[in-house]
Amino acid sequence: MPRHTYASFAVIVMIASCSRPLPPGERNNFHYFGVQHASLHLEYFGDMRGTEDLFEDSSGLREAHLVHSELITEKEFHPTMTYTVRDMGHVTVVDSVKVQELRVIDKTSDSLFHLPNGDVPTPEDQFASYIEQGGFHLLGDTNILAGSMSLKAHVWQLGEQSSYIFEFKGLVVGRKDILDGQENDLRLLSIDTTSPIDPARFEPPHGFPVMDRTKPRPNRPGSEP
């Protein structure tokens, strides 16, 4: 079972800015990725099994991330599913293991849209800023083959370890980890950067109990306002 959803590196972003934000109601022209539309299909190889599908619209202002993985326990084997939808800073996660629909506001991500226009990073710079905080450094470039397409991707290495992430215009398009001689890969099998994404992709499946954390929590009796 995949322990990490590596394509989610494209979802999570970090900023380090002390600039005064834009006034409420205004937003800048920040975009997560350097392509207008993208649909990616990735698959795990090695002792991990599963697939990831990523759908990006409006250069990443809307995103849908579907992860299918195989969960093996001592008693049984069954598939799991996680469906994450992001609309700018609003995130909905449907998790078949926790059996819940979680709604949150990613305040760190949301703040990117309120930076002064002169401080807005490029997708590549923002990706580099985030991943370098995780201990990765830029190793070089490589070509990633997916169907009939060849992408020139950056290769990021975690310290001196045999752990690598492949990035194309802010999008994670693969990962490779070698531990105790065992190689585990997340490989890009197909990518489409021209076709518009069906809006239905950005509507998560419903039916699980909802945990809505987008609304302010009421103060408990005796707590500070």
pLDDT averaged per 10 residues, the chain (length 225): 43 43 73 89 86 92 90 70 90 92 85 83 89 95 90 96 95 92 91 93 93 76 52
pLDDT of residue 11: 43
pTM, 2 dp: 0.79
pLDDT of residue 106: 83
pLDDT of residue 200: 94
6-17+28-212: CATH topology is outer membrane lipoprotein receptor (LolB), chain A (2.50.20)
pLDDT of residue 17: 39
Order across the sheet with 149-158: list the strands: 136-146, 149-158, 163-168, 171-179, 182-192, 38-45, 50-57, 62-72, 77-87, 90-95, 100-105, 210-212
pLDDT of residue 182: 84
